[in-house]
Amino acid sequence: MWGWTFLVLAAAFAWQTRRVGPRLALGQVTFLALLVPAWAYLGYQSAGIELQFTGVPVDAKTAIGFVGLLVCATRPRQLFAWRLTWVDLAVALMAVVHVLADWRADGLSAMPLLRAFGEWVLPYAVGRATIQSVDDLRALLPVAIAVTLALAAVAGFEALLRVNAFEWAYGNRPIEYMPRHMSRWGLKRAYGPAKHPIFLGMMLLMLTPWAIYAASYARRGHWASWWIWTPVAVVFGIVFTVSRGPIIGVAVALAVAVYLLFPRLRKPLWGVAGVIVAVLLLQPRAVLETLHMSSGESKWRRTRQVEIDGEMKRFSGTEARLYLFDVYGEALRRAGLLGFGTEAVTGFPVNVPVGPENVETLKSVRFIDNIYVLTTLRFGYLGLVALVTLLGASIVDWWRRTTAARGAPAFCAGATGALAGAAIVMLTVWMPHDFGFLILWTAGAGSGLRAGE
């Protein structure tokens, strides 16, 4: 199945390379690869759409991205605008810290080099090579919108009819992340081609800039008039995942985009933001209880409890994220500059030092659902600085381009909002390749646009 999928993508890339050149062809097949599940074969009923190369997972996006970059490299003038940006340096720092941390923890080997390249450099390089002008954004828009609407439609189909269309084609999704038929708010939680509903929601969040860009075209009377509704379709697609984080993330993304595109609305937006901050500061417990009730876990007959620092506390998906700082407090303090390495935080339970009172608790906290906590444990304080710098520099880069980019302010505002929303949501989720690829691709696209000026 993996081989056939890759051959189809490779054939599409070869065909489009002859028509539009390798850079745009690479962008087109990258979007098509988003429709290929990133499920790894774990020994039970599953299709196996992710291979392991010397221990490094390789899904469709990674494989076709690598091949596309090799083809583009045969035409070096088309591969990159070689002017360096701050985001380039941040990605390089992230990759270097990754390698040093893993070498320090597990000894010298080639695997950290391959893993760092595939995890950080390759997705970023694909975005940077693909987008070098506003014309590139415009050329990719039809494919991007088709894929975005397909994902949103599949999410609605799955939530309402309780059937995952991708499982028809690729076999059942592994249930290592969540049961196959989880419901909330009367809807089946849609996960589409991703491993978890949150991941699908984050994928759609990172595709929001394309929806906003399409709507701006339709608003000016260009291309299809129904494109004006594409942001609405994306919002509904995210709602169908019934994942609170991405729903909050897309609200942030749209608010930031509106703030940048419509100056007259900035004061009302500041007022709304002030009210939200005041509620969070003055009524944190009420907010937490509302989130807990919205998860549906309050309806369970038996409330789960876990011991934290010798005290029994209610345990739910909402509260588990807050307990991370208690459970891993000792490990975070001892992480040092380079952390404990990738292998130490891979698998369950993770192999990091915790206080003796939290050893049993660690068995209940199955995932480290906070990319900043996970990065600190994995790569230490240097890794955290590199990640925050990468995200922050990308957000600022797109923000500044909102007024500088001719013909694409809507996309730039949308990218600013999507990255800002993702950075906030990742306080509650780690960054798997499902949507992490799109985050880094968007960061790379911003650098490519800036360097190509």
| Structural domain includes residue 320 | no
| Structural domain includes residue 73 | no
| Structural domain includes residue 94 | yes
| Structural domain includes residue 50 | no
Q: Which domain holds residue 149?
A: 86-271+372-451
| Structural domain includes residue 420 | yes
| Structural domain includes residue 230 | yes
> In sequence order, what E strands does 136-223 have?
183-184, 187-188
* Per-residue confidence (pLDDT) for residue 369, from 0 to 100: 85
Q: What DSSP element (H or E) covers 111?
A: helix 111-116
**DSSP states of 309-376:** TTEEEE--HHHHHHHHHHHTHHHHHT-TTT-S-TGGGSSSS------GGGHHHHTT--S---HHHHHH
| Structural domain includes residue 115 | yes
* Per-residue confidence (pLDDT) for residue 441, from 0 to 100: 96
* Per-residue confidence (pLDDT) for residue 310, from 0 to 100: 59
CB neighbourhood size of 81 (10 A): 19
* Per-residue confidence (pLDDT) for residue 285, from 0 to 100: 73
Number of compact structural domains in the chain:
1
| Structural domain includes residue 284 | no
Averages of pLDDT over runs of 10 residues in the chain (453 residues) are 83 91 92 82 43 67 90 71 84 96 91 91 93 91 96 93 82 68 79 90 96 90 84 95 92 95 92 88 74 58 56 61 76 90 81 64 72 94 96 94 78 96 93 92 92 69
* Per-residue confidence (pLDDT) for residue 307, from 0 to 100: 57
